[in-house]
Amino acid sequence: MSDETTNGAAVPAEATAPAFTVEKIYVKDVSFEVPGAPAIYSENVQPELQLNLNQRVQRLNDTAFEVVLTVTLTCKAGDKTAYVAEVQQAGVFGLVGLEPQAIDGLLGTQCPNILFPYIRQLLSDLIQAGGFPPFFLQPINFDGLYAETLRQRAEQGGQGELANVEPAGNV
């Protein structure tokens, strides 16, 4: 049946309003390594941090997308690696009745903004549990990153929306 009822009146499915929903938020993968423990704790050197951020989108079906935000943080003390922390925070998001450009924008901006506080907290907890001082991941401007992605797509002549969406494969 393609009709829904609203207050007893039938409404055609095509007339339903656009919707953006958060279906599930979860940790997909976590890794924390302290290769030089316990000697690394006595190092008295200014640590050097390297942060890598990645986002992956996978279409699960016509209306659901998995967005995975990955942060890898490597801390070096001199020429030794103090720790490496990697967190993949994921979410399944429902997008119904939206134009492809709107879907692309939500997947590139709102979804990572929703996942960010979770990944930030988990990363901080991992590092402290590893015996290191707290690390506070600074806010990330996902709108700016998305704008840069659009600019790069335009330069490459790839005007197609959802260019960053992987096919679902076997889900």
pLDDT in tens, 40-57: 998 888 899 999 999 999
Task: Name the nearest CA neighbour of 83 among 91, 72, 96, 99.
Answer: 72
Q: Spell out the residues 6+ positions from residue 151 whose beta carbon is closer than 8 angstroms to its own.
A: none
Reported as a single tens digit per residue, the pLDDT across 140-161 is 999 999 999 899 988 887 654 5
Q: How confident is the model at residue 1 (pLDDT cuts 50, 70, 90)?
A: very low
137 within 8 A of 123, measured Cβ to Cβ: yes
91 within 8 A of 22, measured Cβ to Cβ: yes
For the chain, what is the total number of helices (H) and then of strands (E)? 3, 7
**Domains of the chain as residue ranges with CATH:** 29-134 (3.10.420.10)
With left for phi above 0 and alpha for psi between -120 and 50, is residue 122 left, alpha or beta?
alpha
Neighbours of 123 (CB within 10 A): 23
**What is d(CA 93, CA 52) in angstroms, rounded to the nearest whole number?**
24
112 within 8 A of 89, measured Cβ to Cβ: no
**What is d(CA 63, CA 68) in angstroms, rounded to the nearest whole number?**
17
Reported as a single tens digit per residue, the pLDDT across 60-112 is 999 999 999 999 999 999 889 999 999 999 999 999 999 999 999 999 999 99
Neighbours of 112 (CB within 10 A): 23
Q: What is the pLDDT of residue 144?
A: 95
Task: Name the nearest CA neighbour of 125 among 36, 38, 30.
Answer: 30
Q: Residue written as tokens 């049946």?
A: 1
